[in-house]
Amino acid sequence: MSSVKIITTSDGSHSLFNEELNETYHSVHGAVQESNHVFIQSGLHYFIDAFKPKTIFILEIGFGTGLNALLTIKAAQQLPSLTFNYTTLEAFPLDEEVWSQLNYADDLKLKDEFHSLHSVLWEVDNRILPNFQFQKQHIKLQEVIFRPSSFDIIFFDAFAPNKQPELWEIDALKKVTEALNTNGVFVTYCAKGQLKRDLKSLGLIVQTIPGPPGKKEMVRAIKSFLG
């Protein structure tokens, strides 16, 4: 993928700049700290602390560099009694010459796991850790079919609404939120008013919470049994 270039963000971790979209994959203020704040702390750990599950099913929209999945693996190592099932979608996978140069694996001491995330077969279940099962799907969100109520958490990490508007339209949001279990959590870095209105219209309880460094707000939404 010649249209992407590796950049170094403010916390020292890499991200990518997509020249065609004129957009970075992560915050320039820090890729790892953004992913940790938005998806791991505000999504994963929020759900675990609130509901004390024994098994957790995660759907990620936008595998990208693999950073969110890698940080979830780190969490799985620290929580060996919890079983993780992680499904991720990616329509435009990175070439090995790009992902192999990213510095997450060395910094997090997860080199083998990072390589596995990118190199395992698509469309099949892969066991990366004893308690971490992983499947990546090479497909667009518009084309995938989910079983209703099959995920506990959605990491919604598509490019920004002004760059990939089709992924933020009500039909796309309806598709992914219908795949959430009761008490399931939808989490994203975006805090646009239209997103919040659409999620509310779909029956979710929408929370505007503090964002990562460099971003004032983000959104977490919970699928209430009343929704």
How high is the mean pLDDT in each 10-residue block of the chain (227 residues)?
86 95 94 97 98 97 98 98 98 96 93 97 97 98 95 97 96 97 97 97 97 96 76
- CA 130-56-24 angle, 5° bins: 95
Full residue range of the structural domain in which residue 191 is found: 30-223
**200 within some domain:** yes
**15 within some domain:** no
Q: Which residues pair with 137 in a beta bridge?
A: 89
**209 within some domain:** yes
- Residue 111: the pLDDT is 96
Count how many domains the chain has. Answer: 1
Among residues 225, 69, 73, the alpha carbon closest in space to that of 149 is found at 225
**21 within some domain:** no
| 4-8: strand order across its sheet | 4-8, 14-18, 23-24
The whole-angstrom separation of Cα 146 and Cα 200 is: 21
**212 within some domain:** yes
The whole-angstrom separation of Cα 63 and Cα 91 is: 9
How many CB atoms neighbour CB 178 within 10 A? 15
Among residues 103, 16, 120, the alpha carbon closest in space to that of 62 is found at 16
- Residue 3: the pLDDT is 87
**72 within some domain:** yes
From the centroid of its chain, how far is CA 193?
A: 21
**37 within some domain:** yes
Cα-Cα end-to-end distance for the chain: 41
R_g (Cα) of the chain, nearest Å = 16
* Residues 6+ away with beta carbon under 8 Å from 130: 80
The whole-angstrom separation of Cα 141 and Cα 89 is: 7
Among residues 155, 184, 9, the alpha carbon closest in space to that of 86 is found at 155
- Residue 224: the pLDDT is 83
Model's pTM, two decimal places? Answer: 0.96
- Residue 227: the pLDDT is 43
- Residue 225: the pLDDT is 62
**CATH number of residue 159's parent domain:** 3.40.50.150
**103 within some domain:** yes
- Residue 85: the pLDDT is 98
Element (H or E) spanning 65, and its range?
A: none
The whole-angstrom separation of Cα 37 and Cα 218 is: 10
